Structure 1
Amino acid sequence: MKLLTTLVCTLSLMFQTFSQEQKTPSPILFIYDASGSMWGKLDGKTKKEIALEVLTTSVNNLPDNQNIGLMAYGHRKKGDCNDIEFLVDLKNASKTHITKAVSNINALGKTPLARSAALAINSLKESKTKATIILITDGIESCDGNICDIVSKAKTDGIDFKLHIVGFGLEEGETEQLKCAANAGGGKYYDAANASDLGKGLTEATNTTVDDPPGNFSIYATKNGEPVDAWVRIVKTGTNKEIDGTRTYRDTGWVHLPPGKYNMIVNPLENTKINGTTIIIESIKDKIGHKTVSFDGGKINLLTLNNNEGWDATSKVKTQEGKVVGGSRTYGRTQTIEVNPGTYDIEVMGLRMKGLETKYTIEDVIVESGKTIEVSHNFKTGIAMIGVKSGETLVDAVVSIKEKKSGKNVAGSRTYTSNNSNPREFLLNPGIYEVKVSAVKKEYAGKKETFTIQVKQGETVTKIIRF
């Protein structure tokens, strides 16, 4: 028994150790901007105050087993390009150590981005550690060096890291070198104009780490030829399971997708007049995929037919989530429907006809920006003429028609006693039907008959009942 207990304990310990090794994430290193410009204000608060609040929230949301390091620059001396310091080691597992260190940082000096990145990356090389580096800066390089060159060379040298950069309150023309560096570092550049943007950027950066598989599918969103900031969600086709997601930040967003088909749901985060869209995409093994999503409109030319001739029908254009975004009545002619680019289902319903095939859904219609797609559906019908007589006298009767196999009621009417309605015309989908005829007038009380008819496409079948 003692041996068994020891064995169980040993196996349990081995499993826990293995589980911890499997789940322990690679460390995250924050590089914090403590240059003098951090005293500048946004929305009534200094950027230093905003950064502290947002960074504290982001750090506190990290897993308990996440190791977190901190580097700062410009916090001790004015005008010193070498004022860069590791404040918290990468082996640190205490969130409090990070938040306390940040709260004690003063903002004084310059912005040595290239030197800071080089110091951080070299520390990883020397310790043989892979990590996610997140650089938060409110300014561009103010010392010698090019951070993009530093990062590119480090990647060429095989150093294992992912670099995200969050630009806080930067002007549009100041971001090119930062975007280049983030891209070279396998990460993203996040543009933050306020506290909310900074929080969103840090949330995504801390959740997109060096441990994640590299992106194999890129997305770029535009409107009128200009890039659009958009949120992208990837859902496995036919399910509600979200596989991955990204934000484009008016640039290219990346996701990692196993081979297969997916619904890509894209919602713009600016210009609220632009509606979101869903597009079906496919990830192919060992291939890098890409989709440019243009929010310029595309057109559907819809034609509905019956027995190969123009036929009146109603239509609904639906997103993959079932939202109706367009539609029309065709009147037997081609109707043009303009919608955002995306993948749609078009539900058409033929008018006047009865049966089990009066509705049809044209699935997975792909609409592309600036293009017109031709779409049509051809319904099928035949005619059943049902009349009731007594001798040569027309008899008023109720006619009820069921589709025989399913037992579903599909049509019904009265014959009355007019040559215009007796026999009564029924336009039906091809099939076999059970017809019940029941007299209405007292002189024919109790008179009824049930029979079966077959309706064929493009043909007329006539049945006259005699009481």
Structure 2
Amino acid sequence: MKKVILILVIFSVFYVKAQDKPSPILFIYDASGSMWGELDGKTKKEIASEVLSTTVSNLPNNQNIGLIAYGHRKKGDCSDVEYLVDINNNSKTKINSVVKEINPLGRTPLAYSTTQAINSLRDSNTKATIILITDGIESCDGNICDVVTKAKAEGIDFKLHIVGFGLKDGETEQLKCAANAGDGNYYDASDASALSEGLAEATSQTIDDAPGNFSVYTVKNGKPVDALVKAYKVGTNEEVDGRRTYGDTVFLSLPQGRYDFKVSALENSRVEPITVTNLQSYNDKISHQTISFDGGKINLITLNNNEGWDCTSKVINQEGKVVGGSRTYGRPKLIEVNPGVYNVEISALVMKGLQTTFIFENVTVKSGETVDISHNFKTGKAIIGIKSDDDVLLDALISILDKSYGKNITGGRSYTSPSSNPKEFILNPGIYEVNIKPVLKKYNGRFKTFTIEVKQGETTEKMVRF
């Protein structure tokens, strides 16, 4: 994780320095023998050459571009580093034609090639953005992190980004250290698409950028997570800045104000995006937010007339996607979700009426914490029996209409069994119209309608005779 305190000391004032012409970008290009290895049916040399050419072609017309390559002339020579295109060059075509002709051959002298790049900036008193592309780790006993750290301490003005192309787990520690020391980012590229994305982002974050004033670090279970961080003006969809963390601290440039952050994990597709709202940035100091994808919990309590009640539930994120839920069975229910802001919709079972669903809005769940939410539904009982004039249970159809809204709420069939006749209905308090229609043919055309009032916690009974 980057040293926020150190950067705060260096950049005690948040500023933007206007320039007529952007500072140069100097690419250090991997031409070691391993670039003949294949990814998705193409050599890494072909992929890197095509992607770098596209990246260079997309740069501004007034952008000066230099090129250093290593490993392209001699197999075992750790000093095989050549400055192929001077940093004062402004021809994209020249860079692309030179890259196309490079023949991967030798070793991977990362420390030495970076030293040569930094020395050129020292000698010309030029500030620049250095972008190192490598498909392997140091193979010449150098330490690129030490090289970059010493150059920064000397006061040489540069930003270093490193793009690791097809590296394995455990091979990136020194590269991340060097990018961190060089005030840049490490980008991990496993294929052509990721290489293109990494180079595009690296060339967009140059030495000319104002130093970021809001740092974000993303973790899950205590380990860094590669994530996409986007900042929006609070309460809007207006994006102000966005960065990818690549498992490290990322710095956003945000004018003083309040922002909503949407953070999406890129390493685990099952991890839902997190929204963190109303974060404050300042022009004269660095703000910081660590965002954890560790789960938080919702303790859902569903009641009816102050007693536990069986309900179904849905937890819905800010994009309207259902990300969790459970049936309560009348007991408190813990639902684990990623940190974020959710709506929780509960639907009571068995009871009928117009108040059988409730939505808890904007429930904020924080990592490692439990938030309690509770809702108490209200009902009463209506017990309706149907008999013939000679006191025999009568099979009939029952429909119940809410008088206030003119909406049919529920209904049923009484049959002729004492277990279902009288028939019990659990209803929200209110005034209902009840319609009874016997099933037997002898009662064709006959029906009865009456009104009942259901009160909370009370039972209303009605026996209807035909």
The TM tier, using the shorter chain, reads 0.7 to 0.9
Asked if the contact 1:81–1:143 (Cα under 8 Å) also holds between the matched residues in 2, the reply is no
Q: What secondary structure does 2:195 align onto?
A: helix
Q: 1:278: which partner in 2?
A: 273
Task: Show the 5 A alignment for 1:402-417.
Answer: 402-415=401-414
Asked if the contact 1:132–1:163 (Cα under 8 Å) also holds between the matched residues in 2, the reply is yes
Q: Distance in 1 between matches of 2:266 and 2:407?
A: 42
Q: What secondary structure does 1:410 align onto?
A: strand
Q: 2:375: which partner in 1?
A: 377
Asked if the contact 2:232–2:239 (Cα under 8 Å) also holds between the matched residues in 1, the reply is yes
Task: Show the 5 A alignment for 1:203-352.
Answer: 203-209=200-206, 210-211=208-209, 214=212, 216-223=214-221, 225-231=222-228, 244-256=241-253, 259-268=258-267, 275-282=270-277, 283-286=279-282, 288-295=287-294, 299-339=297-337, 343-352=341-350
Distance 1:28 1:460, change over 3 A: farther
Per-residue CA distance 1:401-426 (angstroms, 9 max, x = gap) = 33344333222234556665555432
Task: Show the 5 A alignment for 1:23-422.
Answer: 26=22, 29-33=25-29, 37-38=32-33, 40-43=35-38, 48-60=45-57, 62=58, 65=61, 67-74=63-70, 85=83, 87-90=85-88, 92=90, 94-105=91-102, 110-111=109-110, 112-119=112-119, 121-122=121-122, 126=126, 132-137=129-134, 138-140=136-138, 146-150=146-150, 152-153=152-153, 159=157, 162-168=159-165, 175-192=172-189, 195-209=192-206, 210-211=208-209, 214=212, 216-223=214-221, 225-231=222-228, 244-256=241-253, 259-268=258-267, 275-282=270-277, 283-286=279-282, 288-295=287-294, 299-339=297-337, 343-367=341-365, 373-386=371-384, 393=391, 398-415=397-414, 421=420
Distance 1:231 1:261, change over 3 A: closer
User: Aligned pairs, how many?
Assistant: 429
Per-residue CA distance 1:395-453 (angstroms, 9 max, x = gap) = 665443333443332222345566655554321223x33414244364583443353x5
Q: 2:14: which partner in 1?
A: none
Structure scoring higher RCO (CA < 8 A, sep ≥ 6) equals 2
Percentage of identical aligned residues: 44
Asked if the contact 1:75–1:105 (Cα under 8 Å) also holds between the matched residues in 2, the reply is no
Q: Distance in 2 between matches of 1:120 and 1:444?
A: 102
Asked if the contact 1:152–1:181 (Cα under 8 Å) also holds between the matched residues in 2, the reply is no
1:106, distance to aligned residue in structure 2 (A)? 5.7
The AA in structure 2 aligned to 1:309 is E
Distance 1:241 1:25, change over 3 A: farther
Q: 1:426: which partner in 2?
A: 425
The AA in structure 2 aligned to 1:280 is T
Q: Distance in 1 between matches of 2:403 and 2:354?
A: 11
Q: Distance in 2 between matches of 1:309 and 1:363?
A: 23
1:245, distance to aligned residue in structure 2 (A)? 4.2
Asked if the contact 1:38–1:46 (Cα under 8 Å) also holds between the matched residues in 2, the reply is no
Distance 1:255 1:364, change over 3 A: farther
Q: Distance in 1 between matches of 2:370 and 2:410?
A: 38
Gap regions ≥5 residues in structure 2: 1-17
Q: Distance in 2 between matches of 1:389 and 1:179?
A: 83
The AA in structure 2 aligned to 1:346 is V
Q: What secondary structure does 1:284 align onto?
A: strand
Distance 1:85 1:70, change over 3 A: same
The AA in structure 2 aligned to 1:30 is L
1:96, distance to aligned residue in structure 2 (A)? 1.9
Q: What secondary structure does 2:290 align onto?
A: strand
Gap regions ≥5 residues in structure 1: 1-21
Q: Distance in 1 between matches of 2:34 and 2:387?
A: 97
Asked if the contact 2:55–2:199 (Cα under 8 Å) also holds between the matched residues in 1, the reply is yes
- Scaled by the length of structure 1, what TM-score is found? 0.73
Q: What secondary structure does 1:406 align onto?
A: coil
- Scaled by the length of structure 2, what TM-score is found? 0.73
Q: What secondary structure does 1:118 align onto?
A: helix
Asked if the contact 1:246–1:253 (Cα under 8 Å) also holds between the matched residues in 2, the reply is yes
Distance 1:201 1:304, change over 3 A: same
Distance 1:416 1:308, change over 3 A: same
1:353, distance to aligned residue in structure 2 (A)? 0.6
Asked if the contact 1:148–1:178 (Cα under 8 Å) also holds between the matched residues in 2, the reply is no
The AA in structure 1 aligned to 2:408 is N
Q: What secondary structure does 1:328 align onto?
A: coil
Q: What secondary structure does 2:326 align onto?
A: strand
